Structures are given as structure tokens and as C-alpha cells.
Amino acid sequence: MPALNTFSHHESQSSFGEKIKSQSKALVIFLLLNGVVGAGFTNCEKKEFNKTREKKEWFSPSSLQKDTLSSEIIIIRDAGMCFYIVQEDDTLEKIWKKLQTLEEFSYLKAKRYQPRGEKRNIRGFNIPGNQLKPGLEVPIPKDKEQIKIPLEQFSSYSLEAIDGLKSDPTYGFYVKLLLAKIGNKELVNVMCAFAKSESAQKTILGGRDEIGSLEFHRWEPKYHCFSFSPYHILMEKNADGESPGPGLRAKKKLGFTNGKIYHPKYAGALFLAYWIEKTNFSSEKLVQYLNINSLKDAEQTGKIYNGSSKYGEKLWANLQYVRKTLK
């Protein structure tokens, strides 16, 4: 079956949920037998973890839908996420107050979501107020209790992403080559470490904050666009202002939408495809950057991914934490 079917945008919500439930037990057994994550994954069998997992299945892979909620509130519904379309004279404060009057977004009343003027609120809308312009689609923050993901659960979705992408006609060859070099277990570790570095509140000191304690979107002023997913994949265009950058190219080739890549399964596929695009389909560079065995390696990879070698310190600390936790 082609990989594009595996990540079909038209996959129904019910079939997605049934697929997760039916594969859950088999996935745990597979992981344990193949040494992908080890005994730490037995939490999947616990009743309380299953309850948490069911609670977090907010994702709905439905088609894009424009929804006019009032004369002043128009949103785009996309795979369980909602994007507010900025109107004339809107400010973040106005948007925040308008949305919280609706029952669907009443959780936004919490102070943690309150805009901070020209500064980004990394736990809220995560865009400076002076960057708003009419027509811009601004992600509406999800309820934090829905979007936080335990490390063990994120790692299982990462494995699903790897398995799905292996048979992709564009990226499958490079994923298999990468797996031959570092293996399933280590690739999952690297993916989790990147996600923790991008979207967990505390990363180096303790490392225990769940992925999703920070928003999965972030406005990038330098590139005048958002980055999306737990990995904050940049959706920028190239210097010519027209051709898509590696994140946009990967998203288009996989047939994903901005809302869809909030889910860790599809985010994981995008993350790997992004790196393949970023390295210009160079298997040598792909292995070089994702085979991280030292702080020096992490600094090199961090500079490519984030633009700063200092990012490597955080990435290396998180990778060691993930390896220890999922061993």
C-alpha cells in the first residue's frame, strides 16, 4: 500500500481511532520484542495511561472547513485545530477577548493564554501583536490538558511516523538508509529529543515537562511566517520569495495541512521529510546530522536546525534524558 494512503488527509476520525486502538497492544509487543524503547513502554498497558491516551485523541483528520461563527469571528477548522482569520483593526487582545466569549474557546479565559502586547506568549497565540495583518490565519491555542503528550506516547507515534514514511515513494529510500545506520530505537530517541527541545517548557533542568507544555506553533519574525508542529518546522519561502523552503516542500509532497501536523504521527513524518529536503536528498548529510553521539555532533546539528550552536546544548541534554527514560 502506498505511503500516501498511510497518511491520507481523508482518513476518517473513526477509522483513525480504531486503528490506534487495534494496533496499541500489538505495537507495545513489537516495541518490546525489537528493543525499540524497552520496558519503559509498558506504561501503555496501564489503565490510567490508556485513559490519558483516549482523552488526548482530539485530532480529527477532516477536510478544511471555513466556519463563520459571528460577524467578527471567522475561523478555519483543520484536523482538530482552529485558525482565526485576522480582521481589520484586530489586535491580539481583541481576538483573545472575542474568542473566549464562545463556549468552544472558553478555556482561553485562563491568564496563561493572555496576549503580552508586542511580545510572544509561548504558551498562547505565540505571535507578537505587531505582526498581525488582515487575512493572516492565526492558530488558536489548544487547551493545554489536551495537547500535552507523555514521552512514551510521543515515542509510539514517532515509530508510526517512521513506519509510514518507509514506503513513501519520495522519502522512503532515505528513511530506510537512515534506519540501517542508526536503527529504529535511536531515530525515535532523536525525534523525541528534538520535540522536547522545541515544545517542552523545561528541557535541561530535570527534563520532565511534557511535550506540548509550549505551543506547537511559533511566529518567526525573521521569515515572516509560522513554524508548526511539536518540532516547529519552519514554513518559509526561499530567498526569492516565491519558491517553497524545505518545510513547505515536505508538507506539500506528503499532502499534509497546517492543522494535521499538530498531531505527532504526522509531525514525525514531516520532521523526517524536512531533514531529507534540508540536506537536498544527501544520504551522507542526513546520517551526519541525525546520528548524534556527542555534544559536538549536537552542536553541529543544532546550528543547521536552529541557526545557533547553543541549541545543541539543549538538544544533547534532551537526547540523553530521552535515552535514559526510554531505555
Q: What is the tens place of the pLDDT at every residue in 3-25? A: 333 443 334 333 433 433 444 44
The stretch 121-134 carries a mean pLDDT of 87
The one-character DSSP state at 120 is -
249-280 pLDDT, tens digit each: 999 999 999 999 999 999 999 999 999 999 99
Higher confidence at residue 154 or residue 56?
154
Is this model's pTM higher than 0.85 or not? no
Q: What is the β-pairing status of strands 217-220 and 225-228? A: antiparallel
C-alpha cell at 108: 482561553
Cα–Cα dist 6/314, whole Å:
33
227-237: b or e for each residue (b if 16 or more CB lie within 10 Å)?
A: bbbbbbbbbbe
Cα–Cα dist 180/149, whole Å:
28
Positive or negative, the CA dihedral 15, 76, 73, 141 is positive
The DSSP string of 298-315 is: HHHHHHHHHS-TTHHHHH
Residue 37's pLDDT band, with cuts at 50, 70 and 90, is very low
Task: List the end-to-end C-alpha distance of the chain, in Å, as a whole number.
Answer: 32
The stretch 48-68 carries a mean pLDDT of 53
The stretch 32-40 carries a mean pLDDT of 33
Cα–Cα dist 227/233, whole Å:
5
**Three-class SS of residue 29?**
helix
At residue 47, does pLDDT exceed 70?
A: no
Cα–Cα dist 64/270, whole Å:
19
- Identify the pLDDT of residue 5: 36
At residue 225, does pLDDT exceed 90?
A: yes
